[in-house]
Each structure stands twice: as C-alpha cells, then as structure tokens.
Amino acid sequence: MSDLRTELKVSIIEQLNLEELSVEDIENDEPLFGDGVGLDSIDALELIVLLEKDYGIKLTDPQQGKDIFVSINKMAEFIEVHRTK
C-alpha cells in the first residue's frame, strides 16, 4: 500500500518538475492543489497523462480528476481499483 504512495510521490515530483520538493515533503492526505502541494491546471493534465502511462488508466472525463487528484491517498485508492498495469 505505502509503496504505491511513495511511487506516486516520486513520479509526481519527477514528471511535474517539483524541483524543490522531496518525497518526505508530501503528506499522504495533503491536498495536491491549492494550499497543499500547490499544483496547477496544467499539472492536472500531466496527472491524467501519468495515470495512462504508468497505470494504464484512461480518464474519459477530465472532470473525474477533481475527485481523484485530491491527495496521494485518493489517487492511490483509485489506482488500486482501476489499474490495468
């Protein structure tokens, strides 16, 4: 369980170029957008790409992202259920 969360943090930091953040800086239940990690709308699109590339999950409705990209915990829960790779 926690391995997926760590893996997600590593991928997010790398793919979103969050140069000044480390895995330890992101809490599992911290909001990814707004006052938390501070991701923006382009980052949201990158997260959709990340889901497809790394876990074979294709979001057909970008609005779904609002419910999935809430926190690392929420993302991990969604991936565990829907991953195809």
Contact positions toward another protein, by CB under 8 A? 16-21, 38, 42-43, 45-46, 49, 52-53
**Distance of closest approach, residue 1 Cβ to another protein, in angstroms:** 27
Q: Closest separation between CB of residue 55 and another protein, Å? A: 13
Q: Which is nearer to another protein, 3 or 19 (CB)?
A: 19
3-state secondary structure of 18: coil
What is the three-state SS of 34-85?
A: CCCCCECHHHHHHHHHHHHHHHCCCCCCHHHHHHHCCCHHHHHHHHHHHCCC
Nearest residue (CB) to another protein, 52 versus 80:
52
